[in-house]
Amino acid sequence: DARPLVAILWMVATTLLFAATNIVVHAQGDSVPVVQAVFIRMVCGLILVLPGLIEIARNRYPRDAWTMFGLRGIAQTAGMVLWFFAMARTPMADVTAIGYLTPIVVTVGGALLLGEGFSWRRGAAIGVALVGALVILRPGLREILPGHVAELGAALAFGLSYLGVKRLSRHASANAIVAMMTLMAAVILAPWALAVWQPVSLSQVLWLGLTAVLATGGQLTMTKALASAPVSVTQPVVFTQLIWVALAG
């Protein structure tokens, strides 16, 4: 059953947790190579999602669920690497604002791929959001930094990932969905992280561990929100994250 109010509350919690993640990552900068930082965050996250991994081992999922697990894991991993790169090198408000292209991808994808409908109001909102992204970037009037381009790629990857979450919610619990994403990201990133590995201090590991706690919590609340209502209900709430990030900035 769709529970719009419950979904909205879960999504508000998601924006707070993701905003806190943004703050921690931005504060740490690029002291650790991006791929290595994301890998350490995923390894720390595996401890937090252990119940979900046990659930996956005990359940049998249909083939299309496993396919979606894989596609979602690849999209989320790509998005996280691009996002870490952007957040460490670009003003936090810019990254957050450009990241609002993600709800657009999710809303359009929900209409085209999940059959959730698409009204003229949603189309108008998407148009306004695209204009807003151009206002932020101001192509031709300001320098487009590599972080801006990376965040555009992250927004697209995260949008595809969240559509995968919505589809997976038919087959698996929030714990299982987040656990599989964390495991896949750790496996995918392992060889790349080892190739660029450099010594890290205990302080750096603890900060990345905090990132894992905040981001994993945000993934869980987001998954619960997407499972509780259509994406057109949950995505507008994402824009409240700009309030928290702007205040922190």
Q: Give the dihedral sign, CA 102/34/73/168.
A: negative
Q: pLDDT tens digit string along 48-101?
A: 999 999 999 998 899 989 999 999 999 999 999 998 888 877 777 777 778 878
pTM of the predicted model over 0.85: no
Rounded to whole angstroms, how far apart are CA atoms 150 and 152? Answer: 5
Over residues 165-180, the mean pLDDT reads 90
Q: pLDDT tens digit string along 102-123?
A: 877 887 777 777 666 666 676 6
User: What type of residue is 12?
Assistant: V
User: What type of residue is 101?
Assistant: L
Rounded to whole angstroms, how far apart are CA atoms 6 and 45? Answer: 25
pLDDT at 55: 92
Rounded to whole angstroms, how far apart are CA atoms 205 and 182? Answer: 17
Here the tokens at position 46 are 């595996």
Q: DSSP H helical segments within 59-169, as ranges?
A: 63-89, 92-98, 101-113, 120-137, 146-168
Here the tokens at position 238 are 């994402």
Helix, strand or coil, per DSSP, at residue 197:
coil
- Distance from the first to the final alpha carbon of the chain: 38
pLDDT at 140: 54
